[in-house]
Chains A and B, each alone.
Chain A
Amino acid sequence: MSQYTNYIGKPTNRVDGPAKVTGAAKYAAEFNVPNLAYGVVVSSPIAKGKIIKVYSKPVLKIPGVLAVFSHENVPNLAWFDRNYKDDVAPGGSPFRPLHDNEVKFSQQPIALVVADTFEVARYAASILEIEYEEEDHETDIELKRTEGFMPGRGKSGWMPPPPPRGKPDKEWKKAAHRIEHEYIHGAQHHNPMEMFATTTEYHPDGSITAYDKTQGVYNAQQYISKIFGLSKKQARVVTEYMGGGFGSGLRPQYQLFMSVMAALELKRSVRVTLTRQQMFSFGHRPYTLQYVKLGTNPDGTLAALQHHALHETSRFEEYTENVVNWSGMLYQCDNVKLGYQLAELDVYTPLDMRAPGAATGSIALEIAMDEMAFEAGLDPVDFRIRNYAETDQNMKKPFSSKRLRDCYHQGAAKFGWEKRNPRPRSMRDGNMLVGWGMAGGVWDATQKKSAAKATLTADGRLEVSSATSDIGTGTYTIMTQIAAQYLGLPIEAVTFKLGDTDLPEAPLEGGSWTAASVGTAVKNVCEEMGKKLLKQAQKMKGSPLKKAKFDDVEFVNGQIRLRLDPDQAVVIRDVLQASGKEKLEAETSATPNMLKQMQHSMHSHNAVFAEVKVDEDLGTVHVTRVVNAVAAGRILNLKTARSQVLGSIVWGISMALMEETIMDHKFGRYMNHNYAEYHIPVNADVRDLQVLFVEEEDEVVNPLGVKGIGEIGLLGVAAAIANAVFHATGKRVRTLPVMIDKLL
């Protein structure tokens, strides 16, 4: 009999799919609690200055308007910065909504208008008059090139670049072939489909439940409880579903503050929903300038590598991300210098956005590698293999596993790379130039401490829970698969719950660590449950498992059975019924095995191959084909994993060809703050995409052997496309995105 409860790895449909397509899945702005009031945020038209006066009076006279909150009347709240710091707050002083009369960035939330209906609140907000005194602002990083500084404080997960190794300057000068170029990419905003919203339900005892859009309910809970002086019991945060995050929900956003503040003040439930325009007001992938110098020896090995980055941050926080560090470990090179600096501008603090740092750094490094290969007369794949890093030279540690070489080979084979004519402008389709380019990337495999709970009821149903989030990636599904497999239950009998501070604590959903962290906790709690079940099974009359130890049995097909004699089995449902108990419960957590992990460098890798067709006369570029080969440990669900990588490729196309938030420095304001003018690919831009998983066995990263796939798929895509454009046209575009005007 087949082991039908072996779910891990299988392409399994989303367990939350039916709820999503029937509308049963509720998002933050959809919880219609009784007696709800509506808050609308008024945003600053200026980038820097002082608020002189908020003319609330006329607005308060409008029937239905309940309150106008601004710095003029905001209640007394926590005083110290530490109360406003969340788990991923960068060093510095977090922005406090409605705190004082200072305007620090354009679109800063200045006031909240609350009314009985959304329509009245929106109207009142539109006529609320606010007087400002404008001050000179600085928003252009091009003018701050010489004012960069090395961040002193950083934020969790940030590593200063490793110190230089070897003689990077001398060896570069001596190199047989050399390149040095600057690479630029503008700001980008996350723009998940679902707008940020919080519905705060006010309970008669003064406690609240905040239905919030967040990638970490515990992080949001801690934020509001510290600011508003609520105990954890008094502040429950719930995020059952999320219409996309991409990192924008890592930090508590200001609608949470606004909604909770208004609810506590008015002693009434309040919902605050941001507009699409306001989605451009709270964090972005920073505008980054990069400089790369590469040199090769006559044999095509890297003689020297230098990579420097300068990106923007706000005046009040030092946002940091790992932009250049990857360049010291992706390729073998003994002479390396990496530099990283920030420049302060009058903008809001940048925010982690899918593959933060790596997505930016890999564009520069991987275009530079292509330039270097061309200069040295080498095939780009061959060049990378010649410089394959067998160990992590940054950390001086071996990799826990690394099959990047197989990604190169399998990706190239699938793409048909061997048919590539290396000469630029050599391939054509009718009047179009055809280009083939490739690139690759690396991302961290991380496990964080995580807890989970399991409840098995007499009807044979298992509920497992952990306060993680599903930002649309498939967390519900993979956790259900893991639980079903480890307890040998049919997947239909298993429910996974998440996104609620009443559930056991889980880390923020980010960094590609959720599958590894929460997945291991789910595995552990199911094993705990398994032990309890075995104990009960052994109490059964005539139990064939009487003498079995936990390691002697397996949980398969709804049974507990002896591994070596599978006919000796009991049905799990029967065990519960025989026990006379209504339910069995287990709760436990999982922590990384630091002893093992400290000795290794743990990373996922990928190689991307792209084909573009360019109409040179008109400057149009179409990405006709992409193959993305990903080595990210064990894949838990081929279907949702593939979807994640497909999404990454689409985003890579976006970064390469169209996506950029444009600031008018005269106003210090992003001008294309809407879906019409902030371009991301539409269906017609997305053609043949293929995803390959090169599976790795890795016992170091975590017991499940998963590395996470949230970020890795994005890396290399934009660079591969830019490299393909060069191969097609002979034109090297180093300021992405590659738009029509750059190719004319």
Chain B
Amino acid sequence: MNPFTYSHATAVDDAVRDKASHHDAAYIGGGTNLLDLMKENVERPTHLIGLNRLPLTKIQNDPEGGLRLGALATNADTAWHPEVEKRYPLLSQAILAGASPQLRNMATNGGNLMQRTRCYYFYDTATPCNKREPGSGCSAIGGYNRIHAILGTSQSCIATHPSDMCIALAALEAVVRVSGPNGERTIEFADFHRLPGNAPHIDNTLRPGELITGLDLPAKGFEKNYSYLKLRDRTSYAFALVSVAAALELEGNTIKDARIALGGVAHKPWRDTDVEDALKGQPATADTFRKAATQLLQGARGFGSNDFKVELAKRAIVRALKQATEMKQGPTEAFLNSNP
């Protein structure tokens, strides 16, 4: 870890100005990921701007009937917030599938979006990694890649985005509010994270100095039919091998609207709106779900140790959609959701 200076920001503008005035500055909220990365010498900011005094911790209704989540509300406060539990239970479930209670108590909503990949090679400075050191090469390709991506990969990176919360946010089509040197703007969730392409060191579409101030959840919460299914190597406190945020709007047994977002399979929460559109008007049956799953994974490819993810993702999609349809917790789900 390198020496760094530290300042508290008390207003969003101050934070943004402070960032602009330093060369290698970083914002810090809960610090649950940044601190690790600094200890591993993956990130070496020379100045940290503490955000926890900013007035961005509120969770409140917005005029359009949605819900606004403050960027500094903790993951725990968000997951257990009565409005979130009632109107966006998919989001609650996804948050609670991630990390541990201690981490969720520290981690903030804005920070959750900023999590970096858990690729072994990214974390180990002894090995080449294009995301950490552009141009040095990708060690995961041809290496041990059990936890790596199967969709949207590039020749320079097969890392995955590690968040659970973001998978639900993608499914719910949240909007990210940011503040920067040039004022405020909003980013559609689908546009926030990016695919690696030939610039895997860039995780998202934030412009230099921009700060996440909040997340807007649209009015539609799919609170009647939803499921967050997370598959991993132990029952809690492990990143997803594959996760699925599934949300359905049903009329009888007919699908009126559907959202499917995948975690653990790509550099960003993975959605395919064509597949979702194709589900509209279809009966909510295993057959329909299987077709959707196959279609969603059409371009998927494994890299050796993660080959199994292609099939696992298909099965997980089918199961998640089934759970969303039936809204009954079977024995498996009792185990998988025994987390909080």
Contact = CB atoms under 8 A, between A and B. Distances in A.
Interface stretch (A80-88, A386-394, A426-434): A426-434
Contacts of A45: 125-127
Given A126-B2, A431-B330, A744 B311 contact: yes
Nearest to B337: A684
B280 interface: no
A740 B144 contact: no
Interface in B111-161: 118, 120-121, 123-127, 139, 142-144, 146-147
A731 interface: no
B127 A669 contact: yes
Nearest to A680: B234
Contact of A739 (B3, B120, B142, B233): B233
A241 to B, nearest CB: 24
A667 interface: yes
Contacts of A671: 120-121, 124, 127, 143-144
Contacts, number: 114
Given A126-B2, A430-B330, A666-B143, A618 B231 contact: yes
Contact of A684 (B124, B127, B315, B338): B338
A740 B242 CA distance: 11
Contacts of A126: 1-2, 41
Interface range for B: 35 or more
A663 B139 CA distance: 13
Given A122-B1, A620-B335, A674-B123, A658 B234 contact: yes
Contacts of B21: none
B332 A618 contact: yes
Given A658-B234, A740-B231, A617 B2 contact: no
Nearest to B143: A664
A429 B333 CA distance: 13
Contacts of A667: 126-127, 139, 143
Given A667-B127, A669-B127, A744-B308, A615 B144 contact: no
B236 A682 contact: yes
Contacts of A681: 234
Contact of B139 (A277, A429, A620, A666): A666
A695 B181 CA distance: 74
A741 B316 contact: no
A100 interface: no
Contact of B319 (A430, A618, A739): A618
A133 interface: no
B238 interface: yes
Contact of A677 (B120, B127, B332): B120
Contacts of B202: none
Contact of A685 (B120, B234, B241): B234
B312 A744 contact: yes
Contact of A119 (B1, B146, B238, B319): B1
Contacts of B190: none
Contacts of A618: 231, 312, 315-316, 319, 332
Interface in B322-340: 330-332, 335-336, 338-339
A679 B234 contact: yes
B128 to A, nearest CB: 9
A403 B233 CA distance: 37
B239 interface: yes
B3 A123 contact: yes
B205 interface: no
B237 interface: yes
B144 A662 contact: yes
Contact of B308 (A46, A431, A622, A741): A741
Interface in A628-675: 657-658, 662-664, 666-667, 669, 671-674
A430 B139 contact: no
B60 interface: no
Contact of B332 (A277, A620, A657): A620
Interface string A114-125: 000001001100
A664 B339 CA distance: 31
Contacts of B2: 123, 126-127
Interface residues of A, number: 45
B233 A740 contact: yes
B10 interface: no
Interface in B286-311: 308, 311
B1 to A, nearest CB: 6
A619 interface: yes
Nearest to A615: B332
A677 B1 CA distance: 21
A666 B2 CA distance: 29
A307 interface: no
A531 B332 CA distance: 64
A14 interface: no
Contacts of A664: 120, 127, 139, 143-144
A283 B41 CA distance: 25
A431 B331 contact: yes
A122 B332 CA distance: 45
Given A671-B121, A674-B123, A682-B235, A740 B241 contact: yes
Contacts of A615: 332
B308 A740 contact: yes
A651 to B, nearest CB: 14
A620 B336 contact: yes
A676 interface: yes
Contacts of A277: 40
Contacts of A676: 118, 238-239
Contacts of A672: 120
Nearest to A677: B120
B322 to A, nearest CB: 10
Given A126-B2, A618-B316, A676-B239, A658 B233 contact: yes
B171 to A, nearest CB: 20
Interface string A397-424: 0000000000000000000000000000
A740 B124 CA distance: 26
Interface string B34-60: 000000110000000000000000000
Contacts of A619: 231, 312
Most buried by A among B3, B120, B239, B339: B120
Contacts of A432: 330-332
A76 interface: no
Most buried by B among A122, A126, A429: A126
A613 interface: yes
Nearest to A43: B126
A146 interface: no
A432 B333 CA distance: 11
Given A615-B332, A622-B235, A674-B123, A123 B308 contact: no
Interface string A495-511: 00000000000000000
A35 interface: no
Contacts of B146: 662, 741
A669 B235 contact: no
A740 to B, nearest CB: 6
Nearest to A431: B330
Interface string A89-104: 0000000000000000
B330 A679 contact: no
A684 B142 CA distance: 33
Interface string A26-66: 00000000000000000001100000000000000000000
17 contacts: A122-B1, A123-B3, A126-B2, A432-B331, A617-B315, A620-B231, A620-B336, A666-B143, A671-B144, A674-B123, A682-B235, A684-B236, A684-B339, A740-B231, A740-B233, A741-B312, A744-B311
Given A613-B335, A671-B124, A744-B312, 6 more contacts: A126-B41, A618-B315, A658-B233, A662-B144, A676-B239, A682-B236
Interface of A: 45-46, 106, 119, 122-123, 126-127, 277, 429-432, 613, 615, 617-620, 622, 657-658, 662-664, 666-667, 669, 671-674, 676-677, 679-685, 739-741, 744
- The 8 tightest CB contacts between A and B, nearest first, are A45-B126, A741-B308, A684-B235, A671-B120, A684-B236, A615-B332, A430-B331, A682-B236
